[in-house]
Amino acid sequence: MKSSIISLLTIISIASLVVTYFLVQTASRYDVNKQDNLSFAAPHFHLQQRNSNDSPRRNLSEVMNTTTMSDGAEIPMIQPQKQEEENNSDNRPSGVVYQYIRPPPINMTARSLLSKQFPNLANFHDAPTSSTALCGIVKDAEQYLDEWIDYHFGLGFHTIYLIDNSQDHELQSWQNKRLASGYSVRVMPKPGTHRQMYGYHMCAAEHGKDHKYMAFFDVDEFLVLKKHTTVSDMLEEHLPRGSLAVSWYIFGTSFRDMYTPLPVTKRFMYRDGLSANDRHTQQGFNVKSILKTSDYGGYPQSPHSMKTKGSTWIDTNGSGNFDKIGAVNRDRPVDVAVIHHYKYLSTKEYHWKSCIRKTVDDKFKDCESLKIRPPYNGKIYDDSAWQMLKKNVPKYAMFDHFEDFM
């Protein structure tokens, strides 16, 4: 009897040790390091050695296969790609520390129906590496996000990457619902301050190899094409190398005082112009960038310009009069493509952006100027972005039946 008790205790002790070892190994595997430096400097302190033969992380961390539908047609199905060290948050290709969370797959059955809503929807049968992606950073701008996303999918962007600057990865649920509805979106959490250039670098370094081109716009910036139907058609003609600088039009409040739940491109239709009398005095020559990803040159020096191999920046004329980091182009061509920058929105929204919300750089931007003068209204009527949205995403035409009383 005594020997049986001793044997039982021995078995229990061994089992306890095995369980303890398993729990320790599991906990270490899921340890997430979320600490990083808050400076603008390139993240050299996060860089770790990677095997040069490692496969690049695929778009949305997924690979594409095909499946046969009931009608016999084959369509691509996107499945999660197996990744080594998927929970090792400080071993990303960009060298930036963040919590890597693998997204669910795109619902390709739902995507096959989207072409009825988006005439220029990117074709997933084509190689993603010939496509154009878009990268942006979002902080407290959810009410404007869906229009911005739909607008740019309407221009033929293949995938949209978002840096989620909220504290608790608020956009994860939004991402999953979009994926379930067939949209190729990817959200990467990066809370904290001074995140815009970190975010742009994360997109280019981790997903650039999955696309031929990648644009870097904020959610208040809408690309307007003057001579082309899709963004990839425009870039094939105007971006042989380096980075394409696209000039701004600055849109003012358009004499709107408060927010109303209508599309931004419908609410605001007054902008600055090209002449000295019409030009917005502070930011009339700023640009935003579209990168040929094979020419990416590393961590950017400015949110207005991407660093390229050989510092190659061009505009749609194939030239440009740039400052030393490519953030300003005094030539300012707008005949092929231009960005409508809805900097102000309504007077109340601009006050909230400037004096309450803070920017991603943790600043109260332009708040002091509001104490001296009202925000810019705009001078020249321009509804081209709204017309383009209705053409490329026809469901938005319904908003023409609503009147803005604000």
Give per-residue pLDDT as tens, 48-93.
333 333 333 434 434 343 333 333 333 344 443 333 334 434 457 8
Q: Which residues contact 105 (CB under 8 A, 6 or more apart)?
A: 62, 77, 78, 79, 80, 179
Residue with the two structure tokens 């742009």: 200
Which pLDDT tens digit goes with each residue over 10-46?
Answer: 555 565 554 445 443 444 333 333 333 332 334 443 3
Q: What is the pLDDT of residue 92?
A: 74
Q: Average of pLDDT values for 157-175?
A: 94
Helix 172-180, helix 142-154: angle, nearest 10: 30
| Residue 266 in this model has a pLDDT that exceeds 70 | yes
Q: Is the pTM of this model over 0.85?
A: no
Mean pLDDT, residues 104-121 = 94
Give the rounded distance of the alpha carbon of 227 from its chain centre: 24
- Signed CA dihedral, 244, 250, 256, 258: sign only: positive
**8 A C-beta contact, residue 221 and residue 339:** yes
232 or 276, greater pLDDT:
232
Query: In the prediction, which pLDDT does 193 show?
Result: 79
| Averaged confidence pLDDT in the chain | 81
pLDDT band at 104 (very low <50, low <70, confident <90, very high): very high
228-246 pLDDT tens trace: 999 999 999 999 999 999 9
